[in-house]
Amino acid sequence: MNSDPPSKPPSGPEGNPPGDPQAFMQELQHAQVSARVPEKVVRGVFSTGALIFQGQHEFGIDFLLRIASPHQIVARVVMTPTLVPAFIQALRENLNNYQNQFGPPPPLPAPPVQQPMPSIEEIYQQLKLTDDLLSGVYANAVMIAHTAAEFCFDFITNFYPRSSVSCRVYLAAPQIPGFLNSLVQSYQQYQQKMLGQQLPPPHDPRSPKI
């Protein structure tokens, strides 16, 4: 899944911006159908779950490994909100293809007896987050593949002159329906939040009229 238009050669106006003889400007469009996979990400990381967070200008996904203690964040991916709907659609299509080929993913075991939901601060206090993951990696495209057992997510930084995979994450197939639901819910919350910020404040009838 790639959110950019088909690849085109550099085009558009070029030359010196007005008033600055030392500067050079050129407009280009860049979208590659393949991406280089750096050695440091080629093996990828395995994850058993994800936390999704959002700001006004970005979405973030913290992929977790919760097999041994302490639980760890093994990858952090940051993307623009404009990529999220395409990501959701691509994941939904991949899940449908998986179901047509292999049947529904096996269900996850039932959770233990319900306990009070911890706060986000309490959750992150229990997670190990190394310094090299604090800022995460940026992605503006995603490619998804699957086998009978797992899904592979290649998060791509699609910049000129060469697209590159910035993070590769594997999730077991039973994790995918829940991950998709979390993405959908998070994006719906983001839309509601943005809509609320665009609405004008309610009129106070007691305020003076101009």
pLDDT (tens digit per residue) in 188-205 = 999 998 888 765 655 555
- Model confidence at 116, pLDDT cuts 50, 70, 90, reads confident
In total, the chain counts a number of residues equal to 210
- Cα distance between residue 91 and residue 81, in whole Å: 16
pLDDT (tens digit per residue) in 33-67 = 679 999 999 999 999 999 999 988 899 999 999 99
Instruction: Give this prediction's pTM.
Output: 0.78
Q: What is the mean pLDDT of residues 91-108?
A: 95
Q: How many Å from the N-terminal Cα to the C-terminal Cα in the chain?
A: 53
Are 144 and 151 in contact, with CB atoms under 8 Å apart? yes
- Cα distance between residue 130 and residue 120, in whole Å: 18
Helix (H) or strand (E) holding 78, with range, is strand 71-79
